Chain A
């Protein structure tokens, strides 16, 4: 369970990234965060694994205030929260297997990882993860030989190999075309259901949010302006969140193609 209690974040330059956020995310939920560019979606998601540190309030993950974490506690926190990025963030020159095995770093001792002494189970797990996102045949390809969609699947496999309790995905489909976007979202949803991993995804696209989310959180200017199940969401909800009428480019489209 993740609990934001009056969480605020002011960046060093004075920008308020988050303002008095109060949100509770329950285990197993698939939450989509929507909001205009600059609304604070990334700041919200990156607070959970402490890539950024909120400056006020308390943020509980599994009943521990992670804002007090340092050193080894932080490593434990990050080991149980997997992250997926808009630009996949793979090591382009390394092969797919090595990239996926990097998901085990938090579970592996420094010495073992430096001498490439991966445990047999870890390699097995990596291969299994690649199979789950249907990309096992590319195991020895260099990451930069893959298409965007394939790279994002590899990055999902990396997160799977990490065996996290939470998955944070920051705009995972923003660089992909509509059919590939749906494919990636489908994998994320499937993993959420099969492994019961709590998943939080930032999305720009209204139609995708509606299609995959259990619950939608709307943000504007660092504040949560909507929070509710998808069943309660309509077009006017989005107009409220965005503070303007809905446009063509708020939709990804292409749902039927894949």
Chain B
């Protein structure tokens, strides 16, 4: 109705969206709003004491976390190092495996189409499986410990790395490759002399970036039994030993910040 009024008073300016779309969007908006309102009141009813009660609960729990128990540092340092090692090993293995996969998944290097499509599809499949799911599966297969965690991280980071690096390879300047081919270089020599120098900085930067992701991911994987500091954190939370858990969280926080800082600095220097 207001629409009609507008079009009478102002000059005939067509609306960006047709009237039908406007109505649809409005209906959807109110439906969504309705769902939110309903779920809010419903949650309220479920929570004893409503929202104020919930917040009170939060404060009570937070209070239990303080002060963190500094005495456990020496005991949790070992698992923390394990977590870092897990990330380092997984990133290194993934970085090595990435090289052939990224080359096969780059259209400008792998001119044999079927091979290119098979590799692409394989990498896409890898990336559809969340790292947590991988960890749960591997923990089920190999039992609790570092090994399933490392395996999950390798597959997870391989999916990301190979994809990103194959795209870097596809964007290189092909002219030097042609020059080396024309001077009698074979496929390996051409890749080594003309391609690698062009992608190496990006490669190193991406590997460091994935390493940062892996540090954080390996903590989370620990929660589902894949070893390292995450496993310990999960145990302490299970025992309701909140001061210990707090200390672990603080340690993880510091380590992640330090590693990310160093890695960012290196990456800045590279590019």
Interface residues of A (CB under 8 A from B): 49, 51, 75-79, 81-83, 85, 87-94, 98, 102-103, 105-108, 110, 113-114, 155, 158-159, 162
Contact A91-B176, Cβ < 8 Å, known A102-B194, A105-B193: yes
A78 touches B197 (CB 8 A): no
B188 within 8 A of A: yes
- Kindly identify which residue among B173, B178, B193 contacts A51, using a CB–CB cutoff of 8 Å: B178
Q: Which residue of B is nearest A86, CB measured?
A: B175
- Kindly identify which residue among A90, A105, A158 contacts B189, using a CB–CB cutoff of 8 Å: A105
- Min C-beta distance of B199 to chain A, whole Å: 10
A106 touches B175 (CB 8 A): no
A78 touches B194 (CB 8 A): no
Mark each residue of chain B from 180 to 199: 1 if its CB lies under 8 Å from any CB of chain A, else 0. 11111110111011100110
Number of interface residues of B (CB under 8 A): 21
Chain B residues within 8 Å of A82, by CB: 182-183
B179 within 8 A of A: yes
Chain A residues within 8 Å of B180, by CB: 102, 105
- Kindly identify which residue among A83, A85, A93, A155 contacts B197, using a CB–CB cutoff of 8 Å: A93
A78 touches B181 (CB 8 A): yes
B178 touches A106 (CB 8 A): no
A114 touches B186 (CB 8 A): no
A114 touches B197 (CB 8 A): no
Q: How far is the CA of A162 from the CA of B188 in the complex (A)?
A: 18
Chain B residues within 8 Å of A76, by CB: 184
Chain A residues within 8 Å of B175, by CB: 85, 87-89
Q: How far is the CA of A93 from the CA of B195 in the complex (A)?
A: 10
26 interchain pairs, CB-CB under 8 A: A51-B182, A75-B184, A78-B182, A78-B184, A81-B182, A82-B183, A83-B179, A85-B178, A87-B175, A88-B175, A90-B179, A91-B193, A92-B173, A92-B198, A98-B197, A102-B185, A105-B180, A105-B183, A105-B185, A106-B183, A113-B185, A113-B189, A113-B192, A114-B189, A158-B183, A162-B184
Q: How far is the CA of A234 from the CA of B179 in the complex (A)?
A: 35
- Min C-beta distance of B109 to chain A, whole Å: 16
Query: Which B residues from 63 to 104 make CB contacts under 8 A with A?
Result: none
Q: Which residue of A is nearest B179, CB measured?
A: A89
A51 touches B192 (CB 8 A): no
Q: Which residue of B is nearest A92, CB measured?
A: B173
Chain A residues within 8 Å of B183, by CB: 78-79, 82-83, 102-103, 105-106, 158-159, 162
- Min C-beta distance of A83 to chain B, whole Å: 4
A89 touches B178 (CB 8 A): yes
Q: Which of A78, A88, A159 has the most CB of B within 10 A?
A: A78
